[in-house]
């Protein structure tokens, strides 16, 4: 299934039903008086978070949703039926914005969570409402109000604890497939990953965390080069970023220090907040280097970067160092959760 993480749709709440002008007409009752009933309220439009959805692709085929109109009032003081609400299913992690104002309407992060995005119109009033001591036979009524019409922009932000950053072919997809049950496509050419992948990493019997792999960035991504930075929004909910770097790239332009600087620059252009997220350096593909060269090569990279954060040496292909990395990630997430509580 194609992955779609941003769409624009229109939603229309139901109009309110009109009030009725009616008079009681029965034999032997000469002055029956008004008996026109009120209309019914229009139906509302809700977004509902659905656990089993993971893309917004269905909205590429249907872009307009309308709730039911309220029924008009009737004689004999009959009130019109309220219009049925409509519930639009969206993936957990969807954020809804008003396209015209840019206002965020709500963030759906829990399965089953409902968000009102368009309010139905109010019911109209029948002529019985206007009866008074000086107006015994009112012929006036009130129509229902128009239901709210809104243009929504919806963005899907995946719910993950840890996000993977890096240039194409840094080994992010290999890493997530090595530590979880996720099976992204892996190949020896750039941009193997075309959409985000999620994997659940189990650490022990009862502990686990969710890891997100997004398509690799290249220099100029902020201006639209490569796959651009459209998928960086999926890292916005993470607690920790892993910067995966190839310690022995074949191409000179992917030299580790330059690779790190490139990603840092793109992060800063995308979001200052995201660029300040906790970030660990993961030096990957150490199996390519002779054993005696691994430690000096990794230290050379760390020194050149002036890196003061956590550093891990792994081989996603062979699994070397990945278990230790996952253990420390779990430990960090547990400590972070304790501090936030």
Binding site: residue ranges?
A: 166-173, 191-195, 213-216, 284-287, 315-317
How many CB atoms lie under 10 A from the CB of residue 30?
Answer: 6
Give the phi and the psi of residue 89 in degrees, each rounded to 5. Answer: -80, 135
Q: Which residues contact 288 (CB under 8 A, 6 or more apart)?
A: 247, 248
Annotated binding site for Mg(2+): 173, 193
Q: How far apart are CA 127 and CA 38, in angstroms?
A: 8
Q: Name the nearest CA neighbour of 298 among 263, 261, 250, 248.
A: 248
From first CA to last CA, the distance across the chain in angstroms is 38
**Which positions make up the binding site for GTP?**
166-173, 191-195, 213-216, 284-287, 315-317
**Are the C-beta atoms of 45 and 149 separated by less than 8 Å?**
no
Give backbone dihedrals phi and psi of 23, rounded to 5 degrees, phi first: -130, 145
Max CA separation in the chain (angstroms): 111
| 93 vs 1: CA distance, rounded Å | 18
């Amino acid at each position: 299934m194609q992955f779609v993480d941003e769409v624009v749709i229109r939603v229309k709440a139901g109009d309110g039903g009109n009030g009725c002008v009616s008079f009681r007409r029965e034999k032997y009752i000469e002055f029956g008086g008004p008996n026109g009933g009120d209309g019914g309220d229009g139906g509302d439009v809700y977004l509902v978070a659905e656990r089993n959805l993971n893309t917004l692709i269905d909205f590429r085929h249907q872009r307009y949703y309308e709730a039911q109109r309220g029924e008009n009032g009737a004689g004999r003081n009959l009130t019109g039926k309220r219009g049925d609400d409509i519930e639009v299913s969206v993936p957990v992690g969807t954020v809804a914005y008003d396209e015209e104002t840019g206002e965020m309407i709500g963030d759906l992060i829990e399965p089953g969570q409902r968000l009102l995005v368009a309010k139905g119109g109010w019911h109209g009033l029948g002529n019985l409402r206007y009866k008074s001591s000086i107006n015994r036979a009112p012929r006036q009524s009130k129509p229902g109000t128009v239901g709210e019409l809104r243009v929504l922009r919806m963005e899907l932000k995946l719910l993950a604890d840890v996000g993977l950053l890096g240039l194409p072919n840094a080994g992010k997809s290999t890493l997530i497939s090595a530590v979880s049950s996720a099976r992204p496509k892996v190949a020896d050419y750039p941009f193997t990953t075309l959409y985000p992948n999620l994997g659940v990493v189990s650490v022990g019997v009862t502990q686990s965390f969710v890891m997100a792999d997004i398509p690799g960035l290249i220099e100029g991504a902020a201006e639209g080069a490569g796959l651009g930075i459209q998928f960086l929004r999926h890292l916005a909910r993470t607690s920790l970023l892993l910067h995966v770097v190839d310690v022995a790239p074949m191409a000179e332009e992917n030299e580790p220090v330059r690779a790190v600087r490139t990603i840092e620059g793109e992060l800063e252009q995308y979001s200052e907040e995201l660029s300040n997220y906790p970030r660990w350096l993961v030096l990957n593909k150490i199996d390519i280097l002779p054993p005696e060269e691994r430690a000096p090569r990794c230290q050379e990279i760390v020194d050149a970067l002036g890196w003061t954060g956590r550093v891990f040496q792994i081989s996603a292909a062979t699994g070397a160092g990945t278990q230790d990395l996952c253990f420390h990630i779990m430990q960090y997430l547990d400590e972070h959760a304790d501090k936030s509580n």
